Amino acid sequence: DAGITQSPRHKVTETGTPVTLRCHQTENHRYMYWYRQDPGHGLRLIHYSYGVKDTDKGEVSDGYSVSRSKTEDFLLTLESATSSQTSVYFCAISTTGAFGYTFGSGTRLTVV
Amino acid sequence: LAKTTQPISMDSYEGQEVNITCSHNNIATNDYITWYQQFPSQGPRFIIQGYKTKVTNEVASLFIPADRKSSTLSLPRVSLSDTAVYYCLVGALSGGYQKVTFGTGTKLQVIP
């Protein structure tokens, strides 16, 4: 779908370890996003990027950092994973209007 | 951030029209309203977006009253494959900063 892929699809990690999730797009879209989805909370914006090396915080950015060194790649790093960061993480790109996203297939992260 | 409220679940028979409403009482002037569909283990999929009045595309209609404090997604003649969770999103660009709120979703069950 619109050339957006996330890796890995599943990951189990230990508390306190750093974790990096990758989002890759093939269509040269300017805006890229990281969301997390949790039961009862819907989707919440973590960080977004509006260009290479241009990023900004979303609603739930504490404990996360991002980097975008190339248009096609947007990385999300959990600096020191905690159990509260167990979630499904979705990457998205803007393809239709301001908030018409195309989402990736998600990464299911479990922190034990 | 705009606060959004959706019914938790709805049931409908095949062939019926389904209307799902999202309340967003504190919507801001610049906010757009977008609806997504999500199947299990997949990322959300864009359905429709609007600002005011009525928008229609090949799969749905979106009704937004003049006060914009709510919006209604209308799915004509649903089929079993429309069983999914539907999310509304209210969001705007404000001074370059993106403010986005997803609803917690409405689980639609289509019954044969």
Spell out which chain B residues touch chain A, with contact meaning CB-CB distance below 8 angstroms: 1, 32, 34, 36, 41-46, 49, 87, 89, 91-93, 96-98, 100, 102-105
**pLDDT at residue A97 in the model:** 73
More confident residue, A95 or A10: A10
Percent of chain B with pLDDT over 70: 96
Radius of gyration of chain A (CA): 13
| B44: exposed, middle or buried (Cβ count in 10 Å: 0-12, 13-18, 19+) | buried
Residue-wise pLDDT tens digits, A83-102? 999 999 999 998 877 788 99
Q: Is the CB of residue A34 less than 8 Å away from at least one CB of chain B?
A: no
Instruction: Report CB contact under 8 Å: A98, B89.
Output: no
Residues A36, A87 contacting (CB under 8 angstroms): yes
With a cut of 60, say whether residue A1 has pLDDT above it: no
**pLDDT at residue A2 in the model:** 62
Q: Is the CB of residue A30 less than 8 Å away from at least one CB of chain B?
A: no
Q: In the numeric block, which tokens belong to residue A28?
A: 């040269």
Pairing of strands B61-64, B106-111: unpaired
Residues A77, A64 contacting (CB under 8 angstroms): yes
Percent of chain A with pLDDT over 90: 82
- Dihedral sign (CA A5, B43, A37, A97): positive
Residue-wise pLDDT tens digits, B60-95? 999 999 999 999 999 999 999 999 999 999 988 766
Residues A11, A77 contacting (CB under 8 angstroms): no
Beta-carbon neighbour count of residue A46 at 10 Å?
24
With a cut of 70, say whether residue B96 has pLDDT above it: no
Instruction: Report CB contact under 8 Å: A59, B1.
Output: yes
Instruction: Report CB contact under 8 Å: A90, B45.
Output: no
Residue-wise pLDDT tens digits, A29-53? 999 999 999 987 889 999 999 999 9
**pLDDT at residue B98 in the model:** 74
Q: What is the side-by-side strand order in the sheet with A19-25?
A: A4-7, A19-25, A73-78, A64-70
Instruction: Report CB contact under 8 Å: B104, A48.
Output: no
The conformational region for residue B96 under phi > 0 = left, psi -120 to 50 = alpha, else beta, is: left
Instruction: Report CB contact under 8 Å: A43, B91.
Output: no
Q: Which residue of A has its CA nearest to B49?
A: A100
With a cut of 80, say whether residue A54 has pLDDT above it: yes
Which residues does A39 contact at the CB level (< 8 Å), separation at least 6? none
Q: Is the CB of residue A65 less than 8 Å away from at least one CB of chain B?
A: no
With a cut of 90, say whether residue A21 has pLDDT above it: yes
Q: Which of B42, B43, B104 sits opposite A42 (nearest CB)?
A: B104
